[in-house]
Amino acid sequence: MESKRQQKFARVIQKDLGEIFQRDAAAFLPGVMITVTKVRATADLGMARVFLSFFNAPNPNLAINTIKTHSSEIRYMLGKKIKDQVRGIPQLDFFLDDTNEYVDRMDKIFSKISKEEDTE
């Protein structure tokens, strides 16, 4: 269970990272829209797990690896934005949020099941 402090910290990071990706993501991934879907902060606020979703990315795994290679630059940009709001800038750990793919896969399975029931 996250504390109120962790949740507030995560919201600040999510908002500002979203703005960074909206404005500066073209430098890392041209033509790809990046959405920060969730941020989880550790209890000491020293690390933030950032979950990203990619739209118009041919290979999401390659996209997340590109973001991971630029994580120090992204952390620097984040630090410039939130330096007055937080005491320390957390280390960022990026993960691929595959919720949309999971939902699509479940929809296909359910539609296949309903088609099988209709034919019986």
Task: Give the model confidence (pLDDT) of 24-61 as tens digits.
Answer: 888 888 888 999 999 999 999 999 999 999 888 888 89
Considering only CA atoms, which of 79, 31, 74, 76 is closest in space to residue 50? 74
Residue 53's CB: how many other CB atoms inside 10 A?
A: 19
Measured CA to CA, the distance from residue 85 to residue 9 in angstroms comes to 9
Indicate the pTM of the whole model. Answer: 0.81
